[in-house]
Amino acid sequence: MMGFLCNDLSLHTSARFVRTVVVEEILLRTPPDDPARLLCAALVCNPWCRLVSARPFRRRFRDRAGPAPMLGFLCNDVPRLVGTRAEALSTRFVRTAPSCPPLAARRGWHALDARAGRVLLQRAAEAPATVRLAVWDPYSAPAGAGHHLDLPGPVLPRPPRSWNAALLCSATTTTTTTTGPSASSSWARMPRGSGDHVDAARGALAGNALHFVLQRRFRVLRYDLGTRHMSVLHLPPASHNQRIVLTTTEDGGRLGFARMEEGYRLCLWDMVGTTTGWTKGRVIELKALLPVIDLLGFAHGLGVILVGTVDGFFSVDQQTGRINKVGDGPGFYNLVPYVSFCTPALERASKNEEPTTNA
């Protein structure tokens, strides 16, 4: 009798293990831009919730899905006058994946960069020579509250004429790099004789170097992360001072930029070699759109350029030229695309140990 009982238990355990493996393989095939399916699976029962929320599953899901999708972008509001008082800066999240949970606006903060699911924020200055930075992980807590970490920032002896910052993430740490005048040796200085200022547009990480557009828009500031050496790259001449967006290849190894030329033509340029020159690549005709007001951002790793018109925001795929509307309304600048996986990490699951029939 005992032998039969042991056999029954082993068969039951084996069947349950096989069922778990099958469920995991099915859930791993969930489209990465539709996280609501994983959330629904996590709410079925405790075993499924533990499976979906576990780090091994999340790691396998990322490895299988390939590049993370663009879940949305952060819009920095243009400050408006209310009577005689200017409104504080704020940034809000616009979803491009309908199943992605909404996020509340961050009042008093301005988005500078985003990488690996984290956002670099700048606090509205309380004093002219004070810079406050923070890293925000929007989906690390329930209900989109996220985790907010204040970063130490230098107190400048005088208000800087221009500065910018970028977020760098490794497997275990997050750090920021800032360019601009400073009394601290940890902040990089502009090369002498540059005669220009750093633009507020988001920078680009290509290879082992950070790149920022200079305000006159015909040069790019390059900061080598290994040597901490700064240099200036000259861009091809343009007929007028049109705003540009820095781009990168899908593997992040080569720098490029996008610029509106000859009216409605979006021209994509790639760097040749390291710092030797530029070559014009694809040209995308945007005449079918309403007049393009500005280039607003680039989703690194996905090859998607964001442009603004009087009718809203549009994404342009630099490989296929496909155009999609992703947002409404003017009044924003320097969009920061949010590229990340959104997999649930629930603290509490359903009390049912087995899947319910109507889940």
Taking only the tens place, the pLDDT of each residue in 101-144 is 777 778 888 889 998 888 998 887 655 567 788 898 887 655 45
Query: What HEC string does the chain produce?
Result: CHHHHHHHHHHHHHHHHHHHHHHHHHHCCCCCCCCHHHHHHHCCCHHHHHHHHCHHHHHHHHHHHCCCCEEEEEEEECCCEECCEECCCEEEEEECCCCCCCCCCEECEEEEEEECCEEEEEECCCCCCECCEEEEECCCCHHHCCEEEEECCCECCCCCCCCEEEEEECCCCEEEEEECCCCCCCCECCCCCCCCCECCCCCEEECCEEEEEECCCCEEEEEECCCCCEEEEECCCCCCCCCEEEEECCCCCCEEEEEEECCCEEEEEEEECCCCEEEEEEEEECCCCCCEEEEEEEECCCCEEEEEECCEEEEEECCCCCEEEEECCCCEEEEEEEECCCCCCCCCCCCCCCCCCCC
Average pLDDT over residues 278-299: 81
pLDDT bucket at 156, cuts 50 / 70 / 90: low
For the stretch 289-320, pLDDT in tens is 667 767 888 888 788 888 888 778 888 888 88
pTM of the model: 0.75
**Longest Cα separation, the chain:** 91
What is the reported pLDDT for 211?
Answer: 92
In the chain, DSSP finds a helix count (H) and a strand count (E) of: 4, 24
What single-letter amino acid sits at 323? I
DSSP letter at 143 equals: G
Residue intervals of the chain classified under CATH 2.130.10 are: 67-339
What is the reported pLDDT for 212?
Answer: 92
Query: Coil, strand, or helix at residue 8?
Result: helix
Query: Coil, strand, or helix at residue 305?
Result: strand
Q: What is the CATH number of domain 67-339?
A: 2.130.10
pLDDT bucket at 246, cuts 50 / 70 / 90: very high
Average pLDDT over residues 196-210: 86
